[in-house]
Structure 1
């Protein structure tokens, strides 16, 4: 249940009556945040002790395990005791991290705590990777990727260390994390070369991976050290000027520029291992020292936070006074602007746009520019001006979309009409040729086949007329004089494939006005076809008709499985109020056609459950379309040829009134395509 609605003016003044209370809550919230920030400075030390430091140990042991695993994969030696020993050290570090993380759980930020738990989960899948390495079921690059993906989760723990609001500390923390990631790439390089040096050769993929690592390491190292302040950067300046780092750069260059795929590596394993290990250990030591110094810088900042709490209280009081003054001053003006905007928007939504849509549906031309004038709203406020422009844009877009859709529907209708007219013309010619052949051929078997083609062509003509109806036009067939409703029903049945199952019981004392004959035949044919399709082939379909007080009723009943109540109600709604034709709903073409035809002549079509479990379609023809079947109207009795038109076929099933079709012999001549 929706709450009680109030005007904008009332809501604005309601807000103005509570500014002091609202701002007091804000003060309390801001003060709590400030105190919490101070506490976070204190917590940094505990987080570093119980999370950051143990995580660094885990990463170091994981990097060592990665190095030994790739060395093992690159060699042919089956001895792996040193690798198993490293496994134990990695597991011990992981257990220590889990214990420390539990001790500092309340002090650890939620995002960082979540990353720690994810790291522990990733470490849990090491057993599967180790088994693949031990059995040599994994390539060196894949093993490198597996270990590196777990290490990446560990570095994401560092990424969540931004618990200090001080921008300088945040910047220095980010910088040392970048340097740590550069050190991780050094470890990846060492592991990859350990495996390839053991194998004696490096593949193209391994060389490409190493070259990519070189670029990433240099970029991360340069970015990280350049963002550190002078004090924290100094140890890295010393490292950069050292001979060991120069030798490391030379070895990197040698691998990327000298090594060729499939060739023997010109790098000594001992030299690379000693140089890389020295650089890696130095980077690890410097990273730990600088991280500890950054943590120590956070403690003195807590006192400054408390002073800011007091200042915030004073500034909050000033904000209350200023807010009340300016709010009351501009409240009336803003309320007037919003009221004008509301009036313009409602006029657009309830009057102007529906009128444009109605005119488009009626086929009228609409000038988009004329129908989308600027909204007459006072706009002294930027937001009101923006909303007004947005409404104007929505107005233009809506009208343009409606015009485009109308043009699209019109174009689709013209395509339907053009194709259907062409098909209709060809089918009429085909029917004339079949009629000539039927009169010339005397072989019963050939005549029977021609009758089948004739019947198929008649159904194709009905489908072509369906497209004409969907396009909004009227089929070419039509009659001036009334036609017996019995002949109308028979003509409809002859346009259905399984016509032998249909029993027609329609009195001959009523006739249908000529202009409605074609459409009613089509309508009844669609209903009969649905009845034959959706009922078992061994059952019959009944077509009954009778004169009622409001006109003439035609009932089409099948003995099928019926339709559910919900679907039946939906279909009846669409028959009573036919929607616009939807190209995406092409499986309902018959329903669209019936709805259009019924709407055109005021015929009421509805569906209801049959007493036999199937469905009964009821078409009520209005009194204006029905006349008495006088001698002036076409009737079966007057127009049936003297020779028997229908002859039973032995063994073909029930001997009803449609056991074997002799082409259109029992129909009035105008229903056979002849002129009355």
Structure 2
């Protein structure tokens, strides 16, 4: 009876897998008819309320139109809650988190409206509150698609992309409607509009590429229509000029026509996809009935012949068991590990058929296992290709952004050379600082994609220069206190990555600590290399989170797109892994967090010629722009109110004269009391900034002659 029981168990297993596919299709159809339909109407009502709220935020006037729209939104919210209750058991564990997020956003709808009515929200802030609720709706859409049919899943994902693109059009419309009241877009609103437009174009391209001919034809007609062409032209003009269109009626008419077409095609496409899902579920149930009946007959026949062929069947099952164990415990895990390492895998070669001999039942089961194996291998290869594709997208976007930022930095250099106004120089310096930070963010994307750094130096770079350059790339660099460090240098090939790594840790320390506190950065020679510590005075983290973060830093996992909140952590982990650097997070004795960076001895270069304060010739090892930022952090008497170093200011009155030497005159009394110095006149400030500009210009020329 043992072979018979084994065969029955295998038959039940295959039947359960097939039944699971049918149940998944039926569940997806139920979710679409309840939550899917009601959430679509809810999204449309929220989009309309967002537009009306944008007008109210601009004019600061509440009207009956806004009140009526809010009433319709409330009715849609009630219908959505009722639909969730009707879905019942179809709402699985995978939907509870996104559904809870959406419910929480709907609960905040009253407070969002109150802030708008009371004039407590700016226009962009109020719109972003609605955007968050709509984002949670689209997140719910992602979890509604739970079918195992790859064709249906691909079409559903493409329709989801087209729907999200429709949402970005609505966001652009809401911004423009609000700006029409005062005929201007603020700088943050212009940046948001540009981001929406870029996301819309990307999603339209991705969604259109994934749709089949039947579903794609309608969207192609929309994109070729006059309303869409008019919208695209107006969109480009707004991005270029930063001003809303003057013809408000024309804009509204174009958006209304375009939105009507897109909503209609989206609804029709959803109905078609739902019908396909229902048909697939029905066909799967029929297949289950046929397969179940045939399998039952096979089991009954096996009972009759089990006495005669018992021993032979036992041997055949043993061979099948060995093949299955080898597949599940060796071949598939090895394949997944190879894919994780980035190796290319041939699906046809790896998905070899399970070779067993014996009765027809055994060979049928072997073929079933082979089908499961091919599906698993195909899915794993597809996931690996998707990760590589995402990494390539990161790399391409980062390179494009980096090229634009380099051009922007070059323009800023030219403007700084031609400007002698101190106020203008200060503004250009701030813009230069922001651009440098943007370049670091672009390099973070390159790091996540696995690309090597574009910047490197032939000569070793002093530790103090790397630390100061990293601090200069942080927004709140004035809060960072860099203590005196032992004179040493790091390998030039790793200098860019080390600067990036330290900058990420310092920025994290400034963000998660009170704004009135300082962040301490110190370093020291240790037996295994060079240690850099970054300590803040924040609230710290629980011990469990420290342990989890340290595991990621020690063994960086595959980057998860859903975990984008920890982007800096993944970047630090990748950079540390690239050069064998150890990074450890722990609680500070003062209550905050201390990040310890241990640079291995192989990257540390002894340079006794470097001076202790780091402001000498080692500063020339950095590129001109990084050197300018580092000098801005440590130069005394800057406009940001940094302290001025005064010679012998910290010595006692007895030692001041003795330390000067016989040939040096004592320092003036005023030098020891910088707070009592007279305020500079406008002419002196102008001369000071002009001198600073000439100095940085000479440094650029020297660095360009030296080369990286």
TM-score normalised according to structure 2 size: 0.46
TM-score, normalised to structure 1, is 0.48
